[in-house]
Amino acid sequence: MRQSTDPVYDLENSFKRWDDCYENGGSDPFWHDGYNLNIIRRNILFYKMKIEEEYDLDAYPEIYHRDTPSEVPDDYMANADAIRVGAQKALALYLEDENYLYLWESKGKIPQKAAEKLSLKSILGCTTGLEYAILADDLLVMRRHGNAAGYLSSLEFCAERVREMLGPAEESQGMIMSM
């Protein structure tokens, strides 16, 4: 977020950001909401200090008098139960996805270089990674799967490439077996 030259404006925006992050959570894929909330809290303290430097005591704006939020545990996550439910739904979608199933069944037929180029291990690993996150109650990893469509799109893209690559070989093997 860009800092303005008006500490009152910045303080008001920092409080809005803190309230929103505390209630709705953030979308940072690498840091818990608590970590980000504590950064915003430090910003609030900074802007209050700037107001103290620039304003007379009797001219402090109303927002200055709002209580500074308390520190929260760095691992705090807003909407933790909703994240857990979303992760369970995402996992079910992945495990039932025709592209995931195709890739899982075909992984042994894909040449190693092609698998590396497609990041097949990572794409298939998103499911096992999510399973582990659910077992470990790792809300940060589970939140990354809040938009299952992105992972499903990756599965679809990878499956299309594998079908293109293996298609002729699978067809010829099917003909040999039927003879």
Residue 70, exposed/middle/buried by CB under 10 A (0-12, 13-18, 19+)?
exposed
Average pLDDT of the segment spanning 49-67 = 96
The proportion of the chain whose per-residue pLDDT surpasses 90, expressed as a percent, equals: 88
The pLDDT assigned to 171 comes to 45
Q: Provide the domain count of the chain.
A: 2
Q: Are residues 116 and 163 in the same domain?
A: yes
Asked if the structure places residue 72 within a domain, the reply is no
**Phi, then psi, of 73 in degrees rounded to 5:** -60, 140
Task: Tell me the helices (H) and strands (E) count for the chain, helix number first.
Answer: 8, 0
Q: Are residues 110 and 172 in the same domain?
A: yes
The pLDDT assigned to 168 comes to 64
Average pLDDT of the segment spanning 103-120 = 93
Residue pLDDT, tens place only, 127-169: 999 999 999 999 999 999 998 999 999 999 999 999 998 876 5
CA torsion angle 155 161 162 166 (round to 10): 160
Tell me the residue range of the domain where 112 lies: 80-178
pLDDT band at 2, cuts 50/70/90? low
